[in-house]
Amino acid sequence: MNNVIEVKNLVKEYKELKAIDNLSFEVHEGEILGLLGPNGSGKSTTINCVLSLLKTSKGSIKIFGEEMKPDSYEIKRKIGVIFQDVAVFDELTVYQNIDYFCGLYIQDKVTRKKYVQDAIELVGLQDFVKFYPKKLSGGLLRRLNIACGIAHKPKLIFLDEPTVAVDPQSRNNILDGIKKLRNDGATIVYTTHYMEEVEILCDRVIILDKGKILAQGTTEEVKELAKIDEKVTVEVNNLDSSYIEKIKQNSNVDEVTYTDGVLLVKYKEGKNNLVDMVEFLKKENIKYNKINSEKPTLNDVFLELTGKELRD
């Protein structure tokens, strides 16, 4: 498998602060790699270093097998970047914005026109081409931001939290577009703190915190790092603490909490736990509203690894 990006021992320091601490990873051709981490974990700094926008303190960065430098124009030609903050011209229409940024990569007008149209269709902005950005909703603006970054059909795409503060319709549209880009052959580095997006999209994930890699692998591999195997949640009113003690006596139970009418039981192994719980409730004659079981999420893994929620 070819590596599109190879980062070795990357360090980025701001005076006393180590924003990136000896980071090494690869991105394989054709995959979507998710960079997961809370705000300030070093996701955007990593991307800015890889793109040669930021000075690095140590380490090496190769893209398409060559060292990445500010004047690596041939490498840059194959890269598309969608930054976290929307970066478009308020004075230009949707079409003009995409055409302008595409024009920084594609000189030929005929090719560019086709590429711009393709990008507009990909993000679903056909009905808004003559609109100015200020007339667009937050979701449509995000879609425009993406179109500006990928119109030149790059082979490697960096998407830095592209779905922050967008409506569900736009989010679905954006996620569908990203899948299509991957299906068309692009390699994608996707940073987010929405774990559900990572689970839907990414082939592999890297979990970052304080500039360090805490875990990496496929989503399944990373989830296996969790101590728990299943979570059972029961909505039940006025549960006596004696019942909680009884549940804890089960050797397969790792942790039990009861907060705001929700009983959460975490199991070390995942066999018949839901059935056992239903039977227990029936036997003790406890009335409940809803019961469900789920496998651990990446957020659970993150919580275990760092002691904090992914969205903190």
CA distances from 241 to 9, 32, 90, 137, 156 (A): 51, 46, 59, 49, 55
d(CA 10, CA 291): 46
Binding-site size for another protein (CB under 8 A) equals: 32
Closest approach, Cβ 49 to another protein, in A, equals 9
Closest approach, Cβ 24 to another protein, in A, equals 21
54 makes contact with another protein (CB under 8 A): yes
Closest approach, Cβ 304 to another protein, in A, equals 32
Among candidates 311, 287, 21, 112, which has minimal Cα distance to 192? Answer: 311
Instruction: Calculate ∠ Cα 51-70-180, nearest 5°.
Output: 35
Residue 104 or 262 having the CB closest to another protein: 104
Q: What is the CA radius of gyration of the chain?
A: 23
By CB under 8 A, what part of segment 60-119 binds another protein? 70-71, 73-74, 76-77, 79, 81, 83, 85-89, 91-92, 96, 100-101, 103-105, 107
Residue 70 or 307 having the CB closest to another protein: 70
14 makes contact with another protein (CB under 8 A): yes
| The two structure tokens encoding residue 296 | 């651990």
171-172-173-178 Cα dihedral, nearest 10 degrees:
90
Closest approach, Cβ 192 to another protein, in A, equals 18
Residue 112 or 171 having the CB closest to another protein: 112
- 124-144 burial: b if 16+ Cβ within 10 Å, else e: bbeebeeebbeebeebbbbbb
Among 41, 52, 192, 219, binds another protein (CB under 8 A): 52
Among 16, 55, 237, 260, binds another protein (CB under 8 A): 55
Which range of residues in 53-61, 122-130, 197-205, 303-311 is near another protein by CB under 8 A? 53-61
Q: Which helix (H) or strand (E) holds 173?
A: helix 168-183
**27, 4 contact by CB (below 8 A):** yes
Residue 163 or 216 having the CB closest to another protein: 163
Q: Which residues bind another protein (CB under 8 A)?
A: 14, 48, 51-55, 70-71, 73-74, 76-77, 79, 81, 83, 85-89, 91-92, 96, 100-101, 103-105, 107, 148-149
